Amino acid sequence: MGKSFCSQFVVAIAIRLILINSSYQKGIAERVEISTLLNSWKRVTEGVALYQEGIDPYTGDIFHETPIALMFLNFLITNIPQAIGCVFVFCDILTAYILYLAATVYMKETFDKQKKEMANYAKGIYNLLLNENDFNTAPIYVMSVYLFNPFTILNCVAFTSTTFANLFLSIVYLSMVKGYRICSCLALGLAVLQSFYPIVLIVPVCMYISQNSYNKVTSVILTLSVFVYTMMALLYLSYCIIGDWKFIHSIYVAILTVPDLRPNIGLFWYFFTEMFEHFRVLFIFSFQLNATLLYLAPLSLRFHSDPLLLATNMQQSFIIACSIVVTTVLGPTVWHLWIYSRSANANFYFGVTLAFATSQIFLITDLLFSYIKRDFYLKYGVMDGDERVKLKLLLE
């Protein structure tokens, strides 16, 4: 196992380094699918250049990184400009390894839980249970999915700050499953500081950490207050670095009000391009609520016992895989037709992003559904024939 483990790392590092040093690096870094307003390396370079000129980078609207990131990247760019690629690759590999550790811990927990609850399970579900082999291979799968996911590779090669966001999130997961409160709050704070949306993860963090404590309410309050203090400390640190609160506007207002309508693989850009002016505020509110809070309550209520999910029983994986592959290929093609050949228009690209979003939604719903289905089977057993018709669980 150690062999395959190492070889995976070697191959992943090799792919990244080769791409970083190839002539494709610039092209990849400029793709709209990868570099967005919030993470692009070109904008980081501009922000650092402005900072070095003595101009506050937050007065303009090109730079949207945090002041902490600004200091760090300024250090990278001025002191070790040759090693920037290595830093990004290192972060990415570290993320994969942390994910592996997190998955290992989580699998162990699940395995223990399974042993404990074995008595309650129905008969004939042995192939649904986890075995020793799963216990070993699942973390490896998690890691290789991260290491060889084309989107992660491209993000790393394009030097986007998503790489750092992933690192913070993986630390959040690891410290969450290990029950390290302060560590997870700190990592989550950094992730939230950078892109705001991870704030929804505070709910699973609170829930997971409170799982093993005697007084759940105190634990939740403690976690929340640690998180709030971390956030305050981080914001104040940012303020000290730049000496101004303008960065709040530049980062969070820019995320929440969608002022930049550059296309990306999301849906917001064209939706808000074509929006009628008097409905803009309404839709900004409803979409942002939709993206953050709307699903938080029901999902955390439903899956409170198991904040980290694991998939086994997916139905439509083939369709989803195909549509993700097709849209990934079609996206750049249609972009070229629109922006360079001028023979297509914005609708083509929007169509592709719609399909991409739909397939991702299917992926998530399918995952959740398969989880529920597994739960159901564990309780009532796998049925066949007439019984199955009676107790059919449908995605409707």
Measured from the CB atom, is 247 or 270 closer to other proteins?
270
User: Cα(148)–Cα(97) distance, rounded to whole angstroms?
Assistant: 13
Does position 309 interact with other proteins (CB under 8 A)? The reply is no
Residue with tokens 């042995």: 126
Stretch that binds other proteins, among 59-67, 92-100, 102-110, 122-130 (CB under 8 A): 59-67
Residue pair 298/365 in contact (Cβ under 8 Å)? The answer is no
Q: Shortest Cβ distance from residue 7 to other proteins (Å)? A: 38
Does position 292 interact with other proteins (CB under 8 A)? The reply is no
Does position 296 interact with other proteins (CB under 8 A)? The reply is no
Q: Shortest Cβ distance from residue 280 to other proteins (Å)? A: 8
Handedness of CA 29, 31, 33, 38 (dihedral sign): positive
Measured from the CB atom, is 45 or 328 closer to other proteins?
45
Residue pair 393/373 in contact (Cβ under 8 Å)? The answer is yes
CA dihedral angle for residue 272, residue 278, residue 283, residue 288, rounded to 10 degrees: 80
H or E stretch covering 379: helix 346-380
Measured from the CB atom, is 218 or 365 closer to other proteins?
365
Say how far residue 20 (Cα) sits from the centre of its chain: 22
Does position 199 interact with other proteins (CB under 8 A)? The reply is no
Measured from the CB atom, is 101 or 324 closer to other proteins?
324
Report long-range pairs for 331-334 (Cβ below 8 Å, ≥24 apart): 331/33, 331/265, 331/356, 332/31, 332/33
Does position 46 interact with other proteins (CB under 8 A)? The reply is yes
Measured from the CB atom, is 180 or 272 closer to other proteins?
272
The burial of 214, by beta-carbon neighbours within 10 Å (0-12 exposed, 13-18 middle, 19 or more buried), is given as exposed
Helix H segments across 30-83? Answer: 41-53, 67-79
Count, residues in the chain: 396
Instruction: Rule CB under 8 A: choose which of 115, 302, 379, 388 binds other proteins.
Output: 302
Residue pair 295/382 in contact (Cβ under 8 Å)? The answer is no
Does position 386 interact with other proteins (CB under 8 A)? The reply is no
Stretch that binds other proteins, among 86-94, 180-188, 225-233, 339-347 (CB under 8 A): 339-347
Q: Shortest Cβ distance from residue 396 to other proteins (Å)? A: 6
Does position 358 interact with other proteins (CB under 8 A)? The reply is yes
Stretch that binds other proteins, among 152-160, 185-193, 340-348, 384-392 (CB under 8 A): 340-348
User: Cα(172)–Cα(192) distance, rounded to whole angstroms?
Assistant: 11
H or E stretch covering 361: helix 346-380
Count H helices and E strands in the chain, helices first: 19, 0
Indicate the residue type of 229: Y
Q: Shortest Cβ distance from residue 126 to other proteins (Å)? A: 26
Stretch that binds other proteins, among 6-14, 148-156, 191-199, 362-370 (CB under 8 A): 362-370
Site string for other proteins, 243-262 (x = CB under 8 A): ----------------xxxx
Three-state secondary structure readout of 82-144: HHHHHHHHHHHHHHHHHHHHHHHHHHHHHHHHHHHHHHHCCCCCHHHCCCHHHHHHHHHHHHH
Handedness of CA 358, 362, 364, 365 (dihedral sign): positive
Residue pair 375/313 in contact (Cβ under 8 Å)? The answer is no
Stretch that binds other proteins, among 64-72, 141-149, 151-159, 267-275 (CB under 8 A): 267-275
Q: Classify 23 as helix, strand or coil.
A: coil
Stretch that binds other proteins, among 129-137, 156-164, 313-321, 353-361 (CB under 8 A): 353-361
Instruction: Rule CB under 8 A: choose which of 204, 263, 307, 331 binds other proteins.
Output: 263
Does position 372 interact with other proteins (CB under 8 A)? The reply is yes
User: Cα(285)–Cα(253) distance, rounded to whole angstroms?
Assistant: 12
Nearest Cα residue to 145 out of 373, 323, 363, 375 = 363
Does position 84 interact with other proteins (CB under 8 A)? The reply is no
Q: Shortest Cβ distance from residue 347 to other proteins (Å)? A: 5
Measured from the CB atom, is 122 or 337 closer to other proteins?
337
Does position 346 interact with other proteins (CB under 8 A)? The reply is yes
Residues that bind other proteins (CB under 8 A): 30, 32, 42, 45-46, 49-50, 53, 55, 57, 59-62, 259-263, 267, 269-277, 287, 290, 294-295, 298-299, 301-302, 338-340, 342, 345-347, 350, 354, 357-358, 361, 364-365, 368-369, 372, 393, 395-396
